[in-house]
Amino acid sequence: MLRKAMVTWRKNSYAECVKSMQAMEQTYSNTLDANDQRMSNIIRAKHARAERIIKSKKLRAANNTFIEMTKTLKQLRVRQEVLHKNVQFMKQRESMRKWFKRS
């Protein structure tokens, strides 16, 4: 009877030990999977951020170029207006000379 109880106890304790080991292995496996998922999420977020930064830098460069082009066009328009006014002045002066020559 005592021997039978010992054998039963040994089987039960072995079964508990195996269940404990399986639970630990399952926990370890779940932890590894969670860590892999977390790292892939982090890497995905880093890639998305890098793409956003690259896109914003490209847009900033394009905007800066557009601003420079706008400044240049404004300067050209001002120069053209000044040239046009100078031409008008020269025409007026020439016409005044002609008018005074006639008189």
Task: Kindly report the three-state secondary structure assignment for every residue of 2-46.
Answer: HHHHHHHHHHHHHHHHHHHHHHHHHHHHHHHHHHHHHHHHHHHHH
Dihedral, CA of residue 36, residue 38, residue 39 and residue 40, to nearest 10: 80
pLDDT of the chain along its 103 residues, tens only? Answer: 778 888 888 888 999 999 999 999 999 999 999 999 999 999 999 999 999 999 999 999 999 999 999 999 999 999 999 999 999 999 988 888 888 877 6
